[in-house]
Amino acid sequence: MTNNKLNSALKKLEQQNIHLSPQRLAVLEYLYSAEDYPGVEDISRSLAGKYRNLNASTVYNHLRVFNRLGLVKEVTMGDSSRRYSTAS
């Protein structure tokens, strides 16, 4: 099921003519495989070993694009931190 959702998200990016960089794909794959609600720091820390130039600012910018397209949703937790999950 998750694979179908990821494929749908990738198609939506393509339809919107949004370039799918390796880093952008990695952020999407991370989100679509996450079992909780990761934050920007969680994502950037997890992917930093593979993508050395991927920092929190870049992850946040990718998430803004994904949110605008309806691919992810932003969730505010009790401690006012922003977390993200895939849109249903």
Residue 50 burial by Cβ neighbours in a 10 Å radius (0-12, 13-18, 19+): exposed
The CA distance from 61 to 15, in Å, is 19
How close are the terminal C-alpha atoms of the chain, in Å?
11
Q: Architecture of 2-86 per CATH?
A: Orthogonal Bundle (1.10)
pLDDT digits (tens, 9 = 90+) for 29-44: 999 999 889 999 999 9
List 30's β-bridge partners, or say none: none
pLDDT digits (tens, 9 = 90+) for 26-85: 999 999 999 889 999 999 999 999 998 899 999 999 999 999 999 999 988 777 788 999
